[in-house]
Amino acid sequence: MKWSQAEQRIRVQVVAGSTSVLKCDGVERRAVTSNSGEKIGMRTGATTRHTKAITYEMLRYGFEVLQVKGKFDSRDFRARFGAEYRAAPCRYSMTGGVLVEIGAATLVPGDAEEECHYLKATGHP
């Protein structure tokens, strides 16, 4: 899969009000609240109305790391988006969750958000 294909899938498959992406625990999900084609907003928890957003730039970076290394983890995310991670660590798992949702990644859960990681999905050259 190339980024252009992944981006198209994100635009079509990640729909506000009907898509929820996996959290790092591999069980709970975050509801998507918006997808403007530049940013995707999601709820931060099941009992709150608060939202955080990730950018398509974050998604592209995560996707490209997966393509090159075969693995994407919080160290990779922090290396490029350190300030955004410090402000909201959930942005890392939101990014990975979207990549799982479109079939570009497989989640390997961890005990905490920063402990999970994502592997390049098999069947995607």
* Structure tokens belonging to residue 102: 């479109």
Question: What contacts 90, CB < 8 A, 6 or more positions away?
Answer: 23, 30, 44, 52, 113
**pLDDT tens digits, residue range 13-52?**
999 999 999 988 888 899 999 999 999 999 987 677 789 9
For residue 118, the one-letter residue type is Y
pLDDT confidence tier of residue 121, bands split at 50, 70 and 90: very high
Q: How confident is the model at residue 53 (pLDDT cuts 50, 70, 90)?
A: very high
pLDDT at 57 over 90: yes
- Spatial separation of the C-alpha atoms in residues 89 and 16, rounded to whole Å: 21
Give the per-residue pLDDT at 79: 97
Q: For residues 45 and 108, what is the distance between their CA atoms, to the nearest angstrom?
A: 20
Helical (H) or strand (E) element with 66: helix 56-69
Cα–Cα distance measured from residue 110 to residue 57, given in angstroms and rounded to the nearest whole number: 25
pLDDT tens digits, 80-118: 999 999 999 889 999 999 999 999 999 998 776 558 999
